[in-house]
Amino acid sequence: MKVTVFGSGYVGLVTGACFAEAGNNVLCVDIDAGKVARLQQGEIPIHEPGLDDIVRRNFEKDRLRFTTSAEEGIAHGLFQFIAVGTPPEEDGSADLSHVLAVAETIGRHMTDYRIVVDKSTVPVGTADKVRERIEQTLGERGVKVEFDVVSNPEFLKEGAAVADFMKPDRVIVGTDNPRTAELLKTLYDPFTRNRERMIVMDVRSAELTKYAANAMLATKISFMNEIANLAERMGADIEKVRIGIGSDPRIGYSFIYPGAGYGGSCFPKDVKALVHSASEHRFDAELLRSVESVNKRQKELLFHKIKAFFEGNLAGKTIAVWGLAFKPNTDDMREAPSRDLMEAVWAAGGKVRAYDPVAMGEAKRNYGDRPDLELVAKAGDALDGADALAIVTEWQEFRSPDFDDIRDRLRHPVIFDGRNIYEPSLVRSFGLKYYGIGRGERLVV
């Protein structure tokens, strides 16, 4: 089948590459000429395990192409996927300008029937706006062309995006047109072979499903962080509590890890957007507002612990930071807790020496050259002469370090573990001080 994908970011590029891998003929359109040029050279602009191979293979077989020409894209695919960004506005609402710009372009160039598929995360009612924008543009051209607008929110996880797309838990399709649902079913069939995974529903329910899923996951994280903060004050160990509650199948073990707060390009903005949408419907989404404020507080916690350890004075101190990406296996630093920590350390007059296995380029792009940030090539290099070590991302390579080496290289032998990847008693047996999240010891003044 012929597929066009607007937006070659984390979602668009994975979507395009995986559809091509299944044998479809895919054209990816992006307005970022630099990105398109890199993709045409076989250079993958993001870190996503397994993506390089798929992109290269399908590019070589001519099943996956990249262009900046929207016109070419609209002429190409029966399916016109919209996978552009929907960043938050100042008031927390989702910025739909990119989505609607694509809709307008489709209306401007469409000559035959097209299925416009919203894959971007968009508020309930956006498919109606996309439809109106296309109709309006067609009207301005004085032409009549049939089209459908479908909601098909994406649930892939950065860091496991290819695997998630290839073997989705579910494919949500929002449409009231059975024929369109059938066509999408054919497109998705190769990814849902062992059992039916497509769930067809009305458009609005599909749009809300995506927000509800992310809001639920963010709620689990904030809930666990809330209990961790209690554990810290009550002398309990949240890791024991986690195992204790996770064993209840109604609760389960996934997504109940306490830590330095959730970040990334999705949870923060999607929770905010849902709170904002609720207010537009004159409803106070009280629970979700709390999820957000608990998370904001949690992202500040590591800094407060470090500051308390140094008795309120971080001026001239250097903090070694392990992990910059918002989670392992990605280079994405959007709303990453590492940023809150580093920015707070800088504001307090301290310096940061940081290492991340793949996000160093992103760190440089975000912060450029500044005297209070040193990016180093190896985890160990961050330690020399640093006053403390903070673990912010739970990369596998940080899990079994040489604790003797850490102790010897740090000026103050202390680890602030924002992801609870170490066993406190083990770390302490090496003569290091250890502060995790919710592990029964309170260090905030």
Ligand X SMILES: NC(=O)c1ccc[n+]([C@@H]2O[C@H](COP(=O)([O-])OP(=O)(O)OC[C@H]3O[C@@H](n4cnc5c(N)ncnc54)[C@H](O)[C@@H]3O)[C@@H](O)[C@H]2O)c1
Total residues contacting ligand X (rule CB under 6 A)? 26
Nearer to ligand X, 85 or 337 (CB): 85
C-beta separation of 116 from 148 below 8 A: yes
Contacts with ligand X, 345-384, as mask; x by CB under 6 A: ----------------------------------------
Distance CA 350, CA 266 (A): 30
Query: Could you say whether residue 103 binds ligand X (CB under 6 A)?
Result: no
17 is a contact residue toward ligand X (CB under 6 A): no
Question: 318-322 and 351-355 as β-strands: parallel, antiparallel, unpaired?
Answer: parallel
By beta-carbon proximity to ligand X, the closer residue of 28 and 256 is 28
Binding residue (CB under 6 A) for ligand X from 6, 59, 267, 434 = 6
**C-beta separation of 415 from 281 below 8 A:** no
By C-alpha distance, which of 186, 113, 121 is closest to 148? 113
Q: Which of residues 117-156 bind ligand X (CB under 6 A)?
A: 120-121, 154, 156
- Candidates 58-66, 98-106, 297-305, 354-362 — which segment interacts with ligand X by CB under 6 A? 98-106
**Cα–Cα distance for residue pair 159/168, rounded to 1 Å:** 14
CB neighbourhood size of 73 (10 A): 25
Tokens of 142: 């004085």
Strand segments (E) across 134-253 = 147-151, 171-174, 198-201
266 catalytic? Reply is: yes
Residue from 21, 30, 237, 417 touching ligand X (CB under 6 A): that is: 30
Residue 124 · residue 204 · CB < 8 Å: yes
How near is the Cβ of 42 to ligand X at its closest, in Å? Answer: 17
36 touching ligand X, by CB under 6 A: no
Q: Which of 3, 4, 12, 133 binds ligand X (CB under 6 A)?
A: 12
* Under rule CB under 6 A, residue 386 binds ligand X: no
Q: Is the dihedral of CA 308, 313, 315, 317 positive or negative?
A: negative
Q: Which part of the chain contacts ligand X (CB under 6 A), choosing from 31-39, 177-185, 290-298, 435-443?
A: 31-39
270 near 211, Cβ under 8 Å? yes
The SS3 assignment for 82 reads strand
Closer by beta carbon to ligand X, 35 or else 76? 35
Contact residue for ligand X among 63, 65, 76, 98 (CB under 6 A): 98
Among 3, 20, 26, 29, binds ligand X (CB under 6 A): 29
Region 252-291 residues binding ligand X, contact defined as CB under 6 A: 265-266
Q: For residues 229 and 295, which CB has a smaller minimum distance to ligand X in the complex?
A: 295
DSSP secondary structure, 21-49, as one string = HTT-EEEEE-S-HHHHHHHHTT--SS--T
371 φ/ψ angles, rounded to the nearest 5 degrees: -65, -20
Looking at the Cβ atoms of 335 and 356, the one nearer to ligand X is 335
User: Identity (one letter) of the amino acid at 103?
Assistant: A
Q: Which of 321, 426, 302 is nearest to 379 (CA)?
A: 321
As annotated, the active-site residues are: 266
Site residues for ligand X per CB under 6 A: 6-12, 29-32, 35, 83-86, 98, 101-102, 120-121, 154, 156, 158, 265-266
